[in-house]
């Protein structure tokens, strides 16, 4: 079991989830950025899995309160973040600061992963110049208002996308490819045929929305792709 960690951003309380590995000494660390609705068991379970592999993992909270927000409020909250890169990076950096302050974190080996808009946030941390050795996005939004900032990405990038994801259309993938090429980033994109949005979340179907569904094969393949990248950088 992990530990809930409270922290403040501009007077608002955010509650993330810290999962620690067994043993002692410095280890790599991974920031986990949750899906659009908010911090839930999906992100916490990913942090627990990372801790079981020997990493310090912190699942940040970018909405506040440490719980999912009502579904009718999600799009407005995400819209505010999408339109304000500085705000997205601010909230990401607050979580990253918790992770890097942990006494077992090897600050030379820190990665960020994210799901849905959390993947966008992980990418924005790299665009903002954070010294991440790897960035991994799962069904992550790929767009940004500041594509030239990709030149600040110093680590390796992996994005795992459902080829039939209606929220991340082909033209967004093409734009991301152009952005990464222009910035000469070490990047890769994995596409999964017949797969839509939120394919890593077993509870995705509960939303009852078309284009959002769990896919076990893509979930397992994308996790293994992430581990392969971590083997390179850690």
Paired strand residues for 113:
32, 136
What is the pLDDT at residue 169?
94
What is the pLDDT at residue 209?
82
Rounded to an integer, what distance in angstroms lies between the CA atom of residue 219 and that of residue 62?
A: 23
Count of the separate structural domains present in the chain: 1
What is the pLDDT at residue 33?
98
Tell the residue number behind the tokens 């002692």, with chain if given: 24
- For residue 130, the enclosing domain spans 3-233
- Assigned token pair, 222: 């994308």
DSSP designation for 163 = T
CATH code: domain of residue 141: 3.40.50.1820
Is the whole-model pTM more than 0.85? yes
- Assigned token pair, 177: 């490819």
Rounded to an integer, what distance in angstroms lies between the CA atom of residue 75 and that of residue 96?
A: 24
pLDDT, tens digit only, all 234 positions of the chain: 799 999 999 999 999 999 999 999 999 999 999 999 999 999 999 999 999 999 999 999 999 999 999 888 989 999 999 999 999 999 999 999 999 999 999 999 999 999 999 999 999 999 999 999 999 999 999 999 999 999 999 999 999 999 999 999 999 999 999 999 999 999 999 999 999 999 999 999 887 788 999 999 999 999 999 999 999 999
Cβ neighbour number for residue 111 with a 10 Å cutoff: 27
- Assigned token pair, 73: 């409020």
What's the 3-state SS for 168-202? CCHHHHHHHHHHHHHHCCCEEEEEECCCCECCCCC
């Amino acid at each position: 079991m992990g530990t809930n960690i409270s922290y403040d951003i501009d007077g608002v309380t955010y509650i993330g989830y810290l999962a620690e590995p067994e043993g002692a000494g410095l280890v790599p660390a991974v920031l986990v950025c949750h899906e659009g609705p908010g911090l839930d068991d999906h992100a916490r379970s990913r942090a627990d899995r990372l801790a079981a592999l020997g990493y310090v993992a912190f699942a940040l909270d970018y909405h506040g309160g440490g719980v999912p927000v009502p579904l009718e409020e999600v799009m407005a909250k995400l819209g505010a973040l999408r339109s304000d890169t500085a705000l997205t990076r601010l909230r990401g950096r607050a979580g990253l600061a918790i992770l890097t302050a942990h006494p077992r974190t090897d600050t030379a080996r820190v990665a960020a992963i994210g799901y849905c808009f959390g993947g966008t946030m992980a990418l924005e941390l790299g665009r903002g110049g954070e010294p991440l050795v790897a960035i991994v996005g799962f069904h992550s939004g790929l767009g940004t208002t500041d594509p030239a900032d990709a030149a600040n990405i110093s680590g390796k990038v992996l994005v795992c996308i459902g080829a039939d994801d209606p929220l991340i259309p082909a033209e967004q993938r093409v734009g991301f490819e152009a952005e990464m090429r222009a910035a000469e980033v070490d990047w890769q994109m994995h596409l999964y045929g017949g797969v839509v949005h939120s394919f890593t979340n077993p509870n995705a179907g509960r939303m009852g929305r078309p284009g959002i569904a769990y896919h076990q094969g893509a979930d397992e393949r994308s996790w293994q792709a992430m581990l392969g990248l971590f083997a390179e950088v850690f």
